[in-house]
Structure 1
C-alpha cells in the first residue's frame, strides 16, 4: 500500500479492488449496508487496530491493561483522488489517550488540545476557578461551621421540644389545681405561672435563634463567595463554548463553510450538544474536502468494550448518530448524490395483513414485519389505513408493534371496546408472549431481566440503560431452541417500554445477544426476527378469557 497526505490516506492495491465497482452514489449515513469497497477498508483498519496500532488508550480488549475502559467509534471514508486512485481515510470519535494526534488518523476539525491554544488558556483559567471553589468547599472552618450548625440545630429542636413537654406537664398540673381552688388570688397565680412558662419558652427560642443565626451568617459568607465564583465560571464557560462553536467550521464539496453554532441554530436543539463535531464522519469529510478528495462511501464501527448504558458491540457497523451528526452532515453532504434513504421506503408494501379473528367488538390481525401500526410522517401505509379500507367502522388502535416486529395486534371497533381493552393493557392484565431469534448461543434456560430504560436524546430512536433516570423495564425469558450460532427464546414483557425486548436482548447486562436483524442494536438481516406470538385478555362483552396465537415464520 502507498501512503500520502502525511500517511493519512491508505491507497488500495489493484488486486485488493479487482472487479469491485465504484458506487454511483455516496452512502446514506443513517441507514446503510457497507458496500464491497467499504468492507475492504473496514477490514484493513480493524486489522491495523488489532495488530499494529500503538496507544495507551484502554479499549477493554486487553484484560491486563489498567485504567478506565473506553470503547471508541472508528470510521473509514473511501475516497478518490484527482488522478482517480481509490483509497480510504481513517478517523476516531473524540480523542484517544488524551490526544488527537495519531499516525494514520485524520486530525479533528478543530484541535482544542493544541498547546497554547485559546481553549487551553481559557481551560487553565476555568481550572483555577474550580480550584478556588474546591478550596472554599473543603475549607475546614466552612465544614466545621456546617457541622456545628446541624449539631446545634438538632440540640435546639430537642431542648425546645423538651421545654414544651415541661410546659404541657405544668399545664396539666394547673388544670388539676383549678378544679379545687375557690379564690381569685389562686387563679391569678396560676395565670402568672402560665405566662411565665410562655415567656421562658420565648426567651429559649430567641436564644437559640441568636446562636443559629451567628452560624448562618458565617456559612452564608462562604456560600456567597462560592456562588459568586460559580457564576463567573458559568459565564466564562458559556463564552468559551460559543468561541468553540465558531472554531468548528465545516466544509462541503462546494467549498462552503458553516460554523457549528450556525448549523445548530437552525435546528430544534438551537445549541450543539456536547461532543458535536468530534464524531468520526465529519472529521473524515472535512479532511477529504480540504485535500481535494472525492468521498465515495463510508462506514463507522465500534472498537472495544460496550459502554454501560448503550448497546455497542465490538467490530459491529453502525450508522452516524442523529443528534450530533445529522445537522452537520446535512451541510457537509449538500450537493452530493446519496443512496436511497431506506427509512423512507415502504418495506411493508405488498406484504399481506392477515385477519386472525373478527367479531362485532374487535379484530385481531397478524401484522407482517416492516408494516407500520399507524401512519408515519413519510409512510402512510399501515395496519390502521388498511383496516380503514376493509371495515365499515373506524378502526381504533389499542396498542402498537414496532414497524420491524411482526405478530398479533388487537384493534377495537367501538370506543367502549377500545376503552375496556386499553384499560386491560394499562393494568398489565393482558398476557403477551413474543418469540425472538437471538444472534448467538446464550447460557442458561430462563430468567428475568430488570434494566431501566430511557431515550437516547442525542441519537433517537435508540434507547439507553439508565439506573438513575430510566423507567422500570422487566422481561421474563425462556429458551425454546438452540443451535451453535443462534438461540430462539420466548419473551414475556412485564412492562411496555420502547425497544424493551431489543435492548434487553442486546445489552451486556441483559442476554448480550442482539436479536437477528436488529439494525439498531445488532446487525442488518432480511428482517427483525421478533414476533408477537400470543395474546390473552378478557372479552369486553362475554367476560370470557380469549386467547390468540400465531407461530413465527423464522
Structure 2
C-alpha cells in the first residue's frame, strides 16, 4: 500500500524550490528521487500536480505519495572503499559524507552495501537482503566509521555489545553558538516528531531513552567544535540532542538554522569506533580523521 506524507510549509521554507523542501524532510529521499516523484505525479501542492522548480509559499500543503517499494536487486558495485580493518568476521570502513549506507527506494545503487558486496562475498544475512552485514548505520551526510559483520555469529556478538552500551562511538561536530561549559551530558528521551514523521524530537511519548556525553574541543566566535560520545544510538541522536540544548549542528538541513556554514549536510564525523572483537574478545579501537571539508571549515573559523 502506498504511504502518504504531508508537509506544511512555514516561514523557514518560504521561496524554497519544492524539490529541495521535500528532500530535506528525509535523509533517504535524494533530490533526484523527489524530482522523479514530481514528474510522476506523486507530489502534490495543495492537491494539484506541480513542477520541480515550483517555489513554496507559506501555508502550502505538500502531499508526498510514496510509491510502493520496488523489488530491489542489490547489485555489487566496485568502489574504492576506505577500509580500516578486515578479517574473516568483521570489516571497519570509513564512510564518506553523502553516501547512503544501504539500498532503499531512490537509492538502489551507489550505497555502501553495493560496494561491500563487490568487495567481499560473505556478509551477515540477519538484517535481510537490503542490509547485509549492517550492524548499525550513520546518516547519509555524516561521515565516519562503521563496523560490518561478515557472518551471523559476528553480527549477533556486535549487536549485543551495542545493546550493552559497551561500544565506543565518538563523533566530532561543529555546532552553532558558544558552549560555556567544558563538558556535559544530555539525558533526554527521543521519539518520532508528531508534527513531522520524518524527524525525531525529545519527547516523553512513544520515546526511547537517549544519552549523549559531550566535551568542548575549541570555541570560536559563533560556533563550537565538540566531541560527542554516544551511550545509546537513537536515530539522529546527536543532531536532536544538540538542538534540544540550543546548539544545533552546523549545516544540518533538518534540525539546524538556514544561515549556517558552507558545508553539504551536518558537520558531523564518526571519528572513533571501538569494540570487542566478536570472536577473540580483544578490544580493538580505530580512529578516522575528519574529512577535508570539515578541516577546511575549522581552519576558516580559526582565521576569523
Do both share a fold (TM > 0.5)?
yes
Aligned 1:351-370 pairs, distance under 5 A: 353-370=81-98
Q: Distance in 2 between matches of 1:543 and 1:515?
A: 35
Alignment counterpart, residue 521 of structure 1, candidates 242, 245, 255:
255
Q: Report the aligned-residue RMSD.
A: 3.4
Structure 2 counterpart of 1:407, from 144, 161, 164: 144
Higher strand share: 2
Per the TM alignment, residue 393 of structure 1 is displaced from its structure 2 partner at its CA by 1.7
SS of residue matched to 1:537: strand
Look up the match of 1:371.
99
CA contact (8 A) 1:351 1:368 kept: no
Determine if contact 2:216/2:224 at 8 Å carries over to the other structure. Answer: yes
SS of equivalent residue, structure 1 residue 504: helix
Task: Please give the per-residue CA displacement for 1:259-285, whole angstroms capped at 9, x wherever unaligned.
Answer: xxxxxxx9757xx99xx98x659xxxx
Aligned length: 239
Are residues 1:337 and 2:65 paired? no
Post-superposition shift, 1:440? 2.5
| Equivalent residue number for residue 114 of structure 2 | 385
Structure 1 residue 448 displacement after superposition: 0.5
C-alpha distance in structure 1 between counterparts of 2:278 and 2:232, whole Å: 22
Assess, with a 3 A threshold, how the Cα gap between structure 1 residues 280 and 484 changes in structure 2: closer, same or farther: closer
2:173 equivalent to 1:444? no
Partners of 1:486 and 1:350 in 2: CA distance: 39
- 1:217-366 map, 5 Å: 268=3, 298-299=15-16, 319=21, 330-332=44-46, 334-339=48-53, 353-366=81-94
Cα offsets for 1:161-201 (capped at 9, x unmatched) = xxxxxxxxxxxxxxxxxxxxxxxxxxxxxxxxxxxxxxxxx
TM-score by length of 1: 0.39
The two structures have a TM-score, normalised by structure 2, of: 0.69
Structure 1 residues 385-404: Cα deviation after superposition (integer angstroms, max 9, x where no partner)? 11101113235111111111
Change (3 A) 1:529 1:483: same
Secondary structure in structure 1 of the residue aligned to 2:207: coil
Paired with 1:484 and 1:350, the residues of 2 have a C-alpha distance of 43
**Residue in 1 that maps onto 2:208:** 471
The structure-2 alpha-carbon separation of the partners of 1:358 and 1:515, relative to structure 1 and needing over 3 Å to count, comes to same
User: Is 1:495–2:232 an aligned residue pair?
Assistant: yes
> 1:431 offset after TM fit, Å?
1.3
Answer yes or no: is the 8 Å Cα contact 2:78–2:119 preserved in 1: no
User: Contact conserved, 2:190 with 2:208, CA < 8 A, in 1?
Assistant: yes
Find the structure with the greater CA-based Rg.
1
Which residues of structure 1 form unaligned runs of 5+?
Answer: 1-265, 282-296, 301-317, 341-348
More helix by share: 1
Q: Please give the secondary structure, in 2, of the residue aligned with 1:454.
A: strand
Contact 2:78 2:115 in 1 (8 A): no
Pairwise CA distance, 1:333: 7.3
Do structure 1's residue 417 and structure 2's residue 131 form an aligned pair? no
Is contact 1:438–1:489 with CA below 8 Å preserved after alignment? yes
